[in-house]
Chains A and B, each alone.
Chain A
Amino acid sequence: QKEVEQNSGPLSVPEGAIASLNCTYSDRGSQSFFWYRQYSGKSPELIMSIYSNGDKEDGRFTAQLNKASQYVSLLIRDSQPSDSATYLCAAHSGSARQLTFGSGTQLTVLP
């Protein structure tokens, strides 16, 4: 069973703080990784994708990938109440041609 695990949460951070979301995956064949944000009652919205080891920054978001440790993370700097949502980590295996999602981490940013 190829799995993606996320820290269970819920996670609460004060406004302006850094939120750190973590994810591990079991399939070493996974080649690309995605972070989606899902507001309550809405569909997942892509935040970032990452394919290579290291960091990738996009505005207040930084994704980090370590394939040796099979670990992916998402940092949200200067967190805003509007960032309050469930964050889904997903791994894509080229051979399986499907996205496997973690169970999600619920983030609450307190004003």
Chain B
Amino acid sequence: KAGVTQTPRYLIKTRGQQVTLSCSPISGHRSVSWYQQTPGQGLQFLFEYFSETQRNKGNFPGRFSGRQFSNSRSEMNVSTLELGDSALYLCASSLQSSTSTDTQYFGPGTRLTVL
């Protein structure tokens, strides 16, 4: 079974631009979570989608948004990019989010650099 895929793998943008990142979960997985990883802050939760609905959101500004499609693929968007948005953006999928024992599997990540 194929793992979680993320595109693009690398991205360079300039301040003020916007960016869209894509994530395809493991086949059959319905929950997709997004994380931001930086050397200073570690892995921080952005949001989680299940059946096209955002079920949970982390403490990030409204410039960070996302959505999930009927095939469970998800996109996240960052508008008005800032230098501090440079990070590794990770997507993780899980079978379902109705139980706390649900295991998340990570994709390879998208490395975003904001100049």
Contacts and interface: CB of A to CB of B under 8 A. Distances in A.
Interface in A66-111: 88, 92-94, 96-104
A60 interface: no
B33 A99 contact: yes
Interface in B41-99: 42-45, 48, 55-56, 58, 88, 90, 92, 97, 99
Nearest to B106: A43
B42 A103 contact: yes
Contacts of B104: 34, 46, 99
Given A97-B55, A97-B97, A98-B58, A44 B103 contact: no
Given A32-B100, A98-B48, A99-B33, A44 B106 contact: yes
A100 B44 CA distance: 8
Contact of B109 (A43, A94, A99): A43
B100 A92 contact: yes
Interface of A is mostly: strand
A-side interface size class: 20 to 34
Interface of B: 33, 35, 42-45, 48, 55-56, 58, 88, 90, 92, 97, 99-109
7 contacts: A46-B106, A49-B101, A94-B99, A97-B100, A98-B48, A98-B56, A101-B42
Interface of A: 31-32, 34, 36, 42-46, 49, 51, 88, 92-94, 96-104
Given A97-B56, A104-B42, 19 more contacts: A32-B100, A34-B103, A36-B106, A42-B108, A43-B109, A44-B43, A44-B90, A45-B106, A46-B106, A49-B103, A92-B101, A94-B99, A97-B48, A97-B97, A98-B56, A99-B45, A99-B92, A100-B45, A103-B42
